[in-house]
């Protein structure tokens, strides 16, 4: 066995940083995107160009939703979604503590209270037991997030939502192209949202899409932020056309044009990511990592490739030790980046009250600590890069690095012990 890089041996990854960046390049902007932007200039329309409708129609068609409204970000689409549901200030919404903040905080601008719940290890979805425990009669809705692209536990949570008559907001920002029981992710919410931000699977630069089958929700989202569409309404809501509700969320056509191109290529780009992540998964699963490949119920996408170190007999190293050893072999690996939301200063210091603006007596208290399940889960996670091209010699070097560390775990452990490196 080759000497570990930790002990002064050669790194398994010998390729240059440039080559790594080429093979993990994202987003992949090219001639198609340039041509689509050129059209906007030729048409001399960079604000209301019909490409926005084209983007919306393409999402409606692909997801099978009756209505789509493009926004300038996923966050603004979520703001519109929480507003459109017509809930009352003080109503509560169940939401995972392990997600990006935009799944939760936008609701607070409408006086809605996030009730944080644990996530679970089988698919990073909401934990059913936690959700059952947190339910109370003031809970009116639930946010589901297919984290990293995995819609694994949709079934149980959607069943729970149905039983308890909860509205469902699906924050599908990580999961363009994923399916649950042969139905597209993005079609499970009363309102569903995709972020089209530049790192996402169908990037637009900045953008978001709101999808729904219910015309009332669509109209409310229009009232929230799309002044041109208010003028088009053939309902009494049209009377608000002169003022709107004071917020503007429409996407820019440049973003819409890029987003439309990305959506057209989505299946191809997803397939490359998937094949590459599966190659890494093969190597990683040898050493006891859960890699979250597809199951019979769901097809995932690889927005980010996050794996979990399961504690079992083949595993000697901790997640941190794996990260240090792989980093020394030249791999770009890290711990995933979502801290538990409920214990961030915005919540624990009460800063959220400036946004929530409901009676003090109704304001929730968010305490740090607790949520051991999600915390333990986070401690076991490692993020690998997604390789995005078919030229994957750097990927092969990563696989070599995984085997090098995996087959030398005892030596790596001994090295850390000798060096008194503790994690």
Ligand X SMILES: Cc1ncc(COP(=O)(O)O)c(C=O)c1O
What would the two tokens of residue 397 be?
């070097």
Nearer to ligand X, 23 or 173 (CB): 173
Shortest Cβ distance from residue 386 to ligand X (Å)? 15
Q: Among residue numbers 76 through 115, which ones bind ligand X (CB under 6 A)? A: 99-100, 102-103
Nearer to ligand X, 211 or 283 (CB): 211
Spatial neighbors of 44 by CB under 8 A, at least 6 apart, are none
Distances from the Cα of 321 to the Cα of 2, 138, 222, 309, 380, angstroms? 19, 44, 50, 11, 11
Shortest Cβ distance from residue 98 to ligand X (Å)? 10
Supply the angle between the helices 51-63 and 253-286 in degrees, to the nearest 10.
40
Any contact of residue 171 with ligand X (CB under 6 A)?
yes
Shortest Cβ distance from residue 65 to ligand X (Å)? 18
Any contact of residue 208 with ligand X (CB under 6 A)?
yes
CB 255 within 8 A of CB 207: yes
CB 283 within 8 A of CB 402: yes
Q: What mask of x and - would describe binding to ligand X in positions 127 to 156, judged by CB under 6 A? A: ------------------x-----------
Shortest Cβ distance from residue 77 to ligand X (Å)? 8
Nearer to ligand X, 378 or 408 (CB): 378
Spatial neighbors of 21 by CB under 8 A, at least 6 apart, are none
Burial class (CB in 10 A: 0-12, 13-18, 19+), 65: buried
Choose the binding region for ligand X from 170-178, 249-257, 312-320, 325-333 (rule: CB under 6 A): 170-178
Supply the angle between the helices 31-42 and 253-286 in degrees, to the nearest 10.
170
Shortest Cβ distance from residue 374 to ligand X (Å)? 15
Any contact of residue 244 with ligand X (CB under 6 A)?
no
Q: Among residue numbers 39 through 78, which ones bind ligand X (CB under 6 A)? A: 73-75
Any contact of residue 301 with ligand X (CB under 6 A)?
no
Number of residues that bind ligand X (CB under 6 A): 14
Nearer to ligand X, 255 or 324 (CB): 255
Tell which residue, 278, 285, 226, 263, has the closest CA to residue 76: 226
In the block, residue with structure tokens 């009460």: 350
Helix (H) or strand (E) holding 379: helix 372-379
* Closest residue to ligand X, based on beta-carbon distance: 74
Strands (E) in 237-365, as ranges, are: 289-290, 298-299, 305-309
Largest CA distance in the chain: 75
Choose the binding region for ligand X from 53-61, 167-175, 252-260, 326-334 (rule: CB under 6 A): 167-175
Q: What mask of x and - would describe binding to ligand X in positions 172 to 191, judged by CB under 6 A? A: -xx-----------------
Choose the binding region for ligand X from 13-21, 171-179, 230-238, 264-272 (rule: CB under 6 A): 171-179
Residues within the interface to ligand X (CB under 6 A): 73-75, 99-100, 102-103, 145, 171, 173-174, 195, 197, 208
């Amino acid at each position: 066995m080759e000497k570990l890089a930790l002990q002064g041996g050669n790194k398994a990854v010998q390729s240059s940083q440039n080559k790594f960046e080429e093979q993990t390049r994202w987003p992949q902007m090219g001639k198609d995107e340039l041509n689509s932007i050129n059209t906007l200039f030729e048409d001399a329309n960079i604000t209301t160009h019909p490409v926005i409708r084209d983007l919306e129609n393409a999402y409606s068609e692909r997801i099978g939703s009756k209505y789509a409204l493009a926004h300038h970000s996923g966050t603004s689409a979520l703001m519109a979604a929480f507003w459109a549901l017509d809930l009352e200030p003080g109503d509560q919404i169940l939401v995972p503590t392990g997600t990006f903040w935009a799944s939760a905080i936008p609701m607070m601008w409408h006086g809605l209270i996030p009730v944080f719940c644990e996530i679970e290890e089988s698919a990073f979805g909401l934990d059913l037991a936690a959700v059952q425990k947190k339910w109370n009669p003031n809970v009116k809705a639930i946010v589901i997030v297919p984290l990293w692209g995995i819609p694994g536990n949709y079934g149980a949570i959607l069943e729970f939502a149905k039983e308890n008559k909860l509205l469902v907001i699906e924050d599908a920002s990580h999961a363009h192209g994923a399916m649950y029981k042969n139905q597209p992710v993005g079609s499970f919410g009363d309102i569903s949202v995709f972020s089209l931000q530049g790192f996402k699977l169908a990037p637009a630069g900045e953008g978001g899409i709101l999808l729904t089958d219910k015309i009332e929700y669509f109209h409310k989202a229009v009232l929230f932020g799309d002044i041109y569409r208010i003028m088009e309404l053939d309902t009494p809501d049209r009377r608000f056309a002169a003022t709107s509700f004071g917020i503007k969320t429409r996407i820019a056509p440049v973003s819409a044009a890029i987003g439309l191109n990305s959506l057209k290529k989505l299946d191809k780009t997803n397939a490359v990511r998937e094949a590459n992540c599966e190659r890494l998964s093969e190597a990683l699963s040898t050493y006891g990592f859960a890699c979250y490949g597809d199951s019979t119920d769901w097809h995932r996408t690889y927005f980010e490739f996050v794996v979990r170190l399961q504690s079992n007999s083949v595993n000697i190293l901790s997640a941190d030790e794996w990260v240090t050893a792989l980093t020394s072999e030249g791999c770009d690996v890290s711990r995933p980046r979502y801290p538990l939301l409920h214990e961030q200063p915005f919540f624990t210091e009460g800063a959220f009250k400036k946004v929530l603006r409901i009676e003090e007596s109704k304001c929730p208290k968010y305490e740090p600590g607790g949520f051991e399940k999600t915390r333990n889960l986070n401690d076991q996670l490692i993020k690998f890069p997604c390789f995005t091209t078919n030229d994957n010699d750097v990927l092969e070097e990563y696989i070599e690095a995984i085997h090098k560390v995996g087959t030398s775990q005892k030596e790596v452990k001994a090295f850390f012990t000798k060096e008194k490196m503790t994690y």
